[in-house]
Structure 1
Amino acid sequence: MANGGGGGGGSTSGGGGGGGSSLRMSSNIHANHLSLDASSSSSSSSSSSSSSSSSSSVHEPKMDALIIPVTMEVPCDSRGQRMWWAFLASSMVTFFGGLFIILLWRTLKYLWTVCCHCGGKTKEAQKINNGSSQADGTLKPVDEKEEAVAAEVGWMTSVKDWAGVMISAQTLTGRVLVVLVFALSIGALVIYFIDSSNPIESCQNFYKDFTLQIDMAFNVFFLLYFGLRFIAANDKLWFWLEVNSVVDFFTVPPVFVSVYLNRSWLGLRFLRALRLIQFSEILQFLNILKTSNSIKLVNLLSIFISTWLTAAGFIHLVENSGDPWENFQNNQALTYWECVYLLMVTMSTVGYGDVYAKTTLGRLFMVFFILGGLAMFASYVPEIIELIGNRKKYGGSYSAVSGRKHIVVCGHITLESVSNFLKDFLHKDRDDVNVEIVFLHNISPNLELEALFKRHFTQVEFYQGSVLNPHDLARVKIESADACLILANKYCADPDAEDASNIMRVISIKNYHPKIRIITQMLQYHNKAHLLNIPSWNWKEGDDAICLAELKLGFIAQSCLAQGLSTMLANLFSMRSFIKIEEDTWQKYYLEGVSNEMYTEYLSSAFVGLSFPTVCELCFVKLKLLMIAIEYKSANRESRILINPGNHLKIQEGTLGFFIASDAKEVKRAFFYCKACHDDITDPKRIKKCGCKRLIYSEMSIYKRMRRACCFGCGRSERACSCMSDRVRGDVDTLERAFPLSSVSVNDCSTSFRAFEDEQPSTLSPKKKQRNGGMRNSPSSSPKLMRHDPLLIPGNDQIDNMDSNVKKYDSTGMFHWCAPKEIEKVILTRSEAAMTVLSGHVVVCIFGDVSSALIGLRNLVMPLRASNFHYHELKHIVFVGSIEYLKREWETLHNFPKVSILPGTPLSRADLRAVNINLCDMCVILSANQNNIDDTSLQDKECILASLNIKSMQFDDSIGVLQANSQGFTPPGMDRSSPDNSPVHGMLRQPSITTGVNIPIITELVNDTNVQFLDQDDDDDPDTELYLTQPFACGTAFAVSVLDSLMSATYFNDNILTLIRTLVTGGATPELEALIAEENALRGGYSTPQTLANRDRCRVAQLALLDGPFADLGDGGCYGDLFCKALKTYNMLCFGIYRLRDAHLSAPSQCTKSKKSSSVHSIPSTANRPNRPKSRESRDKQNATRMNRMGQAEKKWFTDEPDNAYPRNIQIKPMSTHMANQINQYKSTSSLIPPIREVEDEC
């Protein structure tokens, strides 16, 4: 190198007299940066050198020092001079040139507008004049120039609109174009990343450089897109200054310059990273981003990353180039990714110092970048982290598992509601629950609820969302779900608002998928009518609404008929685990019954043709199962659930039975039972699926088929049976030739055959007649009617006694009805109530005011006014409470007879004494103010105070003479009023109650833990579950929480809910609900055979065991003997017993209070005569005696069970010793379910 003046070191060469300079190109090219090898001339060391020569040798190196690396393949400048200014100039000229043209155009346009302002006004006035002239009929030619201008404007507008549509993503073509531009911008940025490993400026051959060709194609497309954007822009100036426009200015023109100069300058191509800012818009166009949080997160990330990459590109440019005023000699070799690293540590204020900027431009940029980058880092990064952290943890989608069903649970999702639901739904007594539970709620679960989900992670999943959002419904695969369950908030302050929200959930789900089965909880009965307005709501397809108020008040109403029935029924549809207690206490027997649940199973073909009592007895004795009802299909194939229908009805093929058992496996015996294989088996565990095949009825003659049904009915062998006479046999043969019988019609033929046989002298003994005929009407009275369904068509005596002029029942015939009465006519003053001397009535203590939510007292009254009771059997109902509140409820009560109101307060002892509360059959304590208090411990304060107030009252025994017990139902043969008909002669006089403790009370509670305050002498622990507490076990307390189990019970078997409604509501049907939805009141109707037939249904009653027909079993008898005797002799189904607490211990200080028994017994009957007054104390003594023997004869429940036979073990939930010593008082009931067979004149 020649060095002159200030040149760098190296070898020197030169002439002696003239200081010439020689330039030499470096052929050694550095891989990562430009080699700025300066060749300068040096003058000779002689002192005779001229000053001009020296000056020339000094300035010439600075002019020629800018050289670039070259190769032999690329023709480049022979001197190697850099041309970066040409690339930069192309961008600057384009930007400023266009900006100048736009400003010049705007200036000229403004001047033209100002100058022609007056002319414009003149033309406007001329147009107005022309318009008036045309109105006068004078037409003037339109200026052709104006037409051309208008056409030109129209063409320009059309092109502008087309361009706007193309770039705005309003059409599919526009969306494709926008996405394509973004994708090509990212592609150009990737090419920049690749080229950043090369020198900043180098000689490139366009025809041989593949990346340059691709970049050229991309930028041609960008140029076309820029033209579309320019045409579509309304404000050209603002468009010219947009970020995307600036990016195009500094990236598109340099590419064309590169092709022209055969050079490549990395330059400002890093600005393509600014296109990342539009990433969120592109994702929204593709319908990927839908939520505000996701859009915000992508926006923050794209701005942060694009700024980071763009700043790194600028540092990479200036550090690898150097400062221009330093002759580009202070450069340093940094890769692009090292610059990215430098910018990150700079923004984060860490600054390790391993990489730093050396150039002045780089350091100056870092000063300003630290100010902006630090602020951006400090604000964006925490927000990004917060958004990522706050992203829905449960925001995914459910993946359906092949071969496994799933249900969706939504609504009120809390720790309490979910734990109660899962405890019952996933109970081990259910037979292999292969269902996955998907919870959907818009609020993320708390830590406790999350832990509960994790404990059941194999069968439970939670997703955050709302059923009102179709997107969330799609996430949980609602269209493939087996059902959707909606939980309600039972403790909300506004029940109507809660019901409205659940109805909206039903509407949303049904709108998304009309075929989905929905089971929803409703708080108010009157809101069920709104569900009928949903077109796709269909209860026949499995849609069910569990009205908590309806069932709660229905349970309480049944307890008015048979105290403790609410506890028994609540325990039947609740799943309880096995609890084993060694101590011989009342809990042992109570919990034995608690572990039983309601199950359904199809009956074996071995039962076809048998009567219901025969099958019921066979299941009880042989299979150790308690069958209480069947699903009966009438001739028109309509299904009805019949509870103890009696011996007139024969079992059909495929009949569904309702059983009480401890688990689902036990109920399978009814399906597997085969008379040929299991007839001699004594251990029910051995009754399993046998290998023999079903009898083929088609190969049997009709005579054999009917004979088999007959023999099943009489219980004798086919060879010994003489039921069928020769004449009947001949008639049957004729019938067989006329038309064959199917297996289903065998039942009808068997019934017809029995009716036909009854016309002949019967060979059955009177006792056999009593067993088979029971207490029902004799079939011989109307043999032709017996060919039809006896439940639908009444007998001749019913038709004769019908009074078509008096409306005594509602239009459906299910309830007693009277003409609407004004509330003033039923209001009693305190003196009037005292003079009425009420007895055997029901006192309803209600707390409420004008602002209280209605609890629906109609649901309490309707079961007590069921038409299967005779009019004289109806208990008088007296409401004690605020008249303002009762006026609001009266609209739904004014059609029921025997209803009175005493305005007052249940806390007033004067009011309670006026209604003779000591003579009532039941006192019900309700409150409409429970949910208005935030403190859960105080929600039941009014009910608890009223209960304690009544129990502390004392009464005078002198009024005991006036007391009369309620006229209850007594089956035929059990009427103690007639010595000829009564098995027990003589009656004890009903003594009066002298203390309020002996008054039968049932109290409604909201908070389960408040049950501990109802009795001060019990030892219940506050943590004891409700069903283990003494008040609940004895039937004196009821909480709505026990109805939670109905959700899962209804899902697994919707017939269970129908059965519960049949037992509880007194006969409410979907048709009746539709009628109430129309008029909000019962409509009276004239008696017809069809409506009177609806009265023929079972009901609940209570019988004593000390006297009456079961007196021989009341002391030392077994439950199996009682069950069989009641079933055979009186056609009663006994499924529950009452007995005193710990009566078998024979302790001197034995408590006189009773509790609900473990073995449930209910008694349906056909009798229609009322009971004589019966002593409540004697009833307690009977129950106590009954229980005393039940403990000793526990393994002799079944009459024909040998000592070594299978013991009936009931699985019960484990319980601590302290818990086992808790329940110590209160009563429970027996149950009677008697259908009515005749209609009598009632007043």
Structure 2
Amino acid sequence: MVDLFVNKRKHTSSYEVLKGKKFIVVCGNITVDSVTAFLRNFLRHKSGEINTEIVFLGESPPSLELETIFKCYMAYTTFVSGSALKWEDLRRVAVDSAEACLIIANPLCSDSHAEDTSNIMRVLSIKNYNPNTRVIIQILQSHNKVFLPKIPSWNWATGDNIICFAELKLGFIAQGCLVPGLCTFLTSLFVEQNKKVSLKKPWQKYFLSSLKNKILTQRLSDDFAGMTFPEVSRLCFVKMHLMLIAIEHKSMFSSYRCLILNPSAEVKLRKNTLGFFIAESAKEVRRAFLYCATCHGDVYNPELIGLCSCKSKSYQHFTETTDMLRKSTIKGFHDTERQDSFAGERPSMISNLSTKTRSFLYEDAECFDSSGMFHWCKATPLDNVILKRSDKSKHEFRNHVVVCIFGDAQSTLMGLRNFVMPLRASNYTRQELKDIVFIGNLDYLRREWRFLRNFPQIYILPGSALYSGDLRAVNIEECSMCAVLSPPSKTSSSQTLVDTETIMTTLNLGSLRISCTARTPSESEGMSDYFSGYFGHSRHRRIPIITELKNPSNIHFIEQLGGMEEHLPGTRLHLSTSFCTGTVFSGSFLDSLLATAFYNYHVLEFLQMLVTGGISSQMEQNLRKDKFFGLMDSSTTIMSGRRRCKLGLLSLNRTILSDIQPKKTFGQVFCGSLDNFGILCLGLYRMIDEEEHNPEHKRGICDYSASQ
């Protein structure tokens, strides 16, 4: 009784703010699982140098298990019983003095709309109590995001941020449909593997090594000002073993800053530019800030690039060093590659974007929405897109995307618009758009249709992916990818059974063997080589699949269907062969983004732009319902939207990259593609094993650091 009384007093007392001590407040879904995941992700960001305390504000007393967790982390955590909806409780946790207030959502709840609205009310309460408090919130449904920027004190510029599970999860899967393996590539940049495993195969070592990489940001040296992005990216790769993939660019005519992935040579860097890197540690990317053209011009060992004693240089001196930087970069690559280096002078840069400008301007402006970011069409009646099994001959789908949906008239909406938008991004031409065919319950899809009716080339087949006849009715054997999406959460679902439908559908799809004598999907440039490898020399091939798992522990069910003789040790999702080959996705890693958003909101902004088809948080405000379905009337806006970089999969032997010589190492491919075509090579999608152990010629993702 005494212990219970002491604990109650302890949890109802106020948090004591210490001068000079930083802290954050965490509220919302405070459970054993959510707290464990949050602490694991939050503390690993600043391992060994934690100076921020975490105050959990829970609406019910902690269980014994949760108490144990708090005791294990007592140096960093405090629990206070109360509600973010009550000003008195906000005062007790001193939210006005906190570095930020983080609101955790429950992605497995049975009513995601109620979960979102309760968390939005928490934001309102916090902002009313103190408008200057920074808030980072997890939201489950994307259409609920629109309420947050309407709060008068909401401020993107000061770090207020939204992590939308549906938007990011479906965006990841959509990117995996556009580019096989891309879903795994992007996910691997946000997961961390600390478990020691015994590896036998080279591909396993490559893949495990790639899991060390992450997206990091760093202010670039002012010595890069005036250079083009390809020049700076090449210099960082060769001299510092860093992969610079994007920058935050400020317009000359306004204060608006935007993130640009692989900008063309037309974009010149300015002083104080923020760079986005794929690297292993912050220590490595800091070299891009410390780089000095005078002191490090002839240095090709990254370890020797450090703080120098040079003073600020004049503009005249800088212009003289720019040419020196370009020449030394080429020299550095020759030195580091030795016998495999390029022969002859560096080829001149070619901008694919500038050569296509004229054709873009002559395309029909009515094909795009008012932002110029997405392909658009007039609202299509649902009856016009419903397919009938008896009319298969009328719909000879080929190179299309099949999406398996599970839901009914009462199910919570998944927000399929978040899946469709990346597939309808305007940086793809109309000819490059793939037909999207949804298979599922018509009552459910009818409710989703109001959000999909303005996107072109979408079709619906009422039925079930558990029935092979429905799969064949949509010409499944000719699809470029089949996505199997998890059903909305159910109240009584156990953790093991939440993925029953998706696992059974994957089993059903895996049992379908397509003869290699049949036509193969005619992909864009380079994809035919991927599919020919995918078929191998087998007489049959599997249908390309990407399966979503809500519970990552269920990966062992999928692994049994893989057909591989050698598996990575263990049954963890991110150590599985299915994950490596890009056939499985789980949104469980999205929990880590809460900590990412706190420490570096730029990374979250970049990820959102990457997976959603080019939308940033600021641009999203222009995509409200009243604006999104308008028509494009400005060719300038079309150009700005359509000219953004797109992700793709190119063969090294059957595309424009075949002209790169030599290409024995990743470094040669990286520099050759960047020099000749302005293409940034982020990684390889290579055969994961010898043919006798890999009869279906499966490929795995390897994202390389510049030192490899």
CA distance in 2, matches of 1:994, 1:824: 41
Cα deviation, 1:234-258, whole Å, max 9, x if unaligned, reads xxxxxxxxxxxxxxxxxxxxxxxxx
**Higher helix proportion:** 1
CA distance in 1, matches of 2:507, 2:541: 9
Aligned residue for 1:856, secondary structure, equals: coil
Matched residue, 1:640: 258
The answer to whether structure 1 residue 896 and structure 2 residue 462 are counterparts is no
Which of residues 821, 838, 841 in structure 1 aligns to 2:400?
A: 841
Matched residue, 1:1002: 546
Matched residue, 1:1063: 610
Offset, 1:397:
2.2
The answer to whether structure 1 residue 650 and structure 2 residue 197 are counterparts is no
Matched residue, 2:99: 482
CA distance in 2, matches of 1:769, 1:582: 39
Matched residue, 2:12: 395
The answer to whether structure 1 residue 1046 and structure 2 residue 593 are counterparts is yes
Structure 1 residues 611 and 1073: CA distance shift in structure 2, 3 A: closer
Amino acid of the residue matched to residue 1157 of structure 1? I
Cα deviation, 1:184-241, whole Å, max 9, x if unaligned, reads xxxxxxxxxxxxxxxxxxxxxxxxxxxxxxxxxxxxxxxxxxxxxxxxxxxxxxxxxx
Amino acid of the residue matched to residue 569 of structure 1? L
Offset, 1:582:
6.0
Contact 1:609 1:713 in 2 (8 A): no
Aligned residue for 1:676, secondary structure, equals: coil
Structure 1 unaligned regions, length at least 5: 1-381, 718-766, 779-793, 977-983, 1161-1196, 1199-1206, 1209-1243
Cα deviation, 1:1162-1193, whole Å, max 9, x if unaligned, reads xxxxxxxxxxxxxxxxxxxxxxxxxxxxxxxx
CA distance in 1, matches of 2:9, 2:175: 48
Matched residue, 1:1132: 679
Matched residue, 2:83: 466
Contact 2:380 2:453 in 1 (8 A): yes
Matched residue, 2:176: 559
Offset, 1:435:
1.9
Structure 1 residues 578 and 1098: CA distance shift in structure 2, 3 A: farther
Cα deviation, 1:1055-1095, whole Å, max 9, x if unaligned, reads 11111111100022445543554449633333432233211
TM-score under structure 1 length normalisation: 0.53
Contact 1:1012 1:1021 in 2 (8 A): no
1:786-825 map, 5 Å: 799=361, 801=362, 803=364, 807-825=366-384
Offset, 1:992:
11
CA distance in 1, matches of 2:540, 2:17: 59
Structure 1 residues 1093 and 387: CA distance shift in structure 2, 3 A: closer
Q: Which structure: larger Rg?
A: 1
Cα deviation, 1:249-274, whole Å, max 9, x if unaligned, reads xxxxxxxxxxxxxxxxxxxxxxxxxx
Contact 1:834 1:913 in 2 (8 A): no
CA distance in 1, matches of 2:547, 2:509: 12
Offset, 1:416:
1.8
Cα deviation, 1:1105-1156, whole Å, max 9, x if unaligned, reads 343344588998111111111111111111111122233xx7x444535343
Offset, 1:681:
3.0
Offset, 1:797:
6.7
Matched residue, 1:624: 241
Matched residue, 2:424: 865
Offset, 1:705:
4.8
Matched residue, 2:23: 406
Offset, 1:817:
0.3
Offset, 1:1048:
1.0
Offset, 1:993:
11
The answer to whether structure 1 residue 934 and structure 2 residue 551 are counterparts is no
CA distance in 2, matches of 1:911, 1:1048: 43
Offset, 1:1013:
1.0
Aligned residue for 1:440, secondary structure, equals: strand
Aligned residue for 1:570, secondary structure, equals: helix
Aligned residue for 1:670, secondary structure, equals: helix
Amino acid of the residue matched to residue 640 of structure 2? A
Matched residue, 1:676: 294
Contact 2:685 2:702 in 1 (8 A): no
Which of residues 679, 703, 708 in structure 2 aligns to 1:1159?
A: 703
Aligned residue for 2:449, secondary structure, equals: helix
Which of residues 1096, 1099, 1106 in structure 1 aligns to 2:643?
A: 1096
Matched residue, 1:879: 438
Which of residues 63, 71, 80 in structure 2 aligns to 1:454?
A: 71
Which of residues 667, 691, 694 in structure 1 aligns to 2:285?
A: 667
Offset, 1:1000:
1.1
Contact 1:951 1:996 in 2 (8 A): no
Structure 1 residues 850 and 1075: CA distance shift in structure 2, 3 A: farther
Contact 2:510 2:543 in 1 (8 A): yes
Structure 1 residues 582 and 576: CA distance shift in structure 2, 3 A: closer
CA distance in 2, matches of 1:932, 1:996: 41
Aligned residue for 1:600, secondary structure, equals: strand
Offset, 1:500:
0.8
Offset, 1:421:
1.7
Cα deviation, 1:735-783, whole Å, max 9, x if unaligned, reads xxxxxxxxxxxxxxxxxxxxxxxxxxxxxxxx979523443437xxxxx
The answer to whether structure 1 residue 501 and structure 2 residue 147 are counterparts is no
Contact 1:421 1:1045 in 2 (8 A): yes
The answer to whether structure 1 residue 687 and structure 2 residue 234 are counterparts is no
Offset, 1:418:
1.7
Aligned residue for 1:394, secondary structure, equals: helix
1:1097-1116 map, 5 Å: 1097-1111=644-658
Structure 1 residues 450 and 1025: CA distance shift in structure 2, 3 A: farther
1:343-742 map, 5 Å: 388=5, 391-427=8-44, 432-577=49-194, 579=196, 583-635=200-252, 636-697=254-315, 700=316, 705-709=318-322, 712=325
CA distance in 2, matches of 1:1081, 1:682: 49
Amino acid of the residue matched to residue 684 of structure 1? P
Matched residue, 1:1012: 556
Amino acid of the residue matched to residue 1012 of structure 1? H
- Identify the structure with bigger relative contact order (alpha carbons < 8 Å, sequence gap 6+): 2
CA distance in 1, matches of 2:532, 2:580: 29
Contact 1:1009 1:1023 in 2 (8 A): no
Cα deviation, 1:140-165, whole Å, max 9, x if unaligned, reads xxxxxxxxxxxxxxxxxxxxxxxxxx
Matched residue, 1:1086: 633
CA distance in 1, matches of 2:627, 2:660: 48
CA distance in 2, matches of 1:1038, 1:1071: 28
Matched residue, 1:284: none
Matched residue, 2:522: 965
Structure 1 residues 770 and 825: CA distance shift in structure 2, 3 A: farther
Of 454-463 and 1097-1106, the range deviating more from structure 2? 454-463
Contact 1:1034 1:1154 in 2 (8 A): yes
1:1224-1243 map, 5 Å: none
Offset, 1:990:
10
Which of residues 768, 771, 777 in structure 1 aligns to 2:354?
A: 777
Contact 1:771 1:1128 in 2 (8 A): yes
Cα deviation, 1:872-920, whole Å, max 9, x if unaligned, reads 0001101111111110000010101111111111111111011111211
The answer to whether structure 1 residue 920 and structure 2 residue 479 are counterparts is yes
Aligned residue for 2:366, secondary structure, equals: coil
Matched residue, 1:946: 505
Contact 1:429 1:662 in 2 (8 A): no
CA distance in 1, matches of 2:249, 2:196: 36
RMSD of aligned Cα (Å): 3.1
CA distance in 2, matches of 1:795, 1:948: 46
Structure 1 residues 431 and 922: CA distance shift in structure 2, 3 A: farther
CA distance in 2, matches of 1:859, 1:969: 26
Structure 1 residues 1002 and 550: CA distance shift in structure 2, 3 A: same
CA distance in 1, matches of 2:569, 2:387: 41
CA distance in 2, matches of 1:829, 1:796: 41
Offset, 1:588:
1.3
Structure 1 residues 951 and 578: CA distance shift in structure 2, 3 A: closer
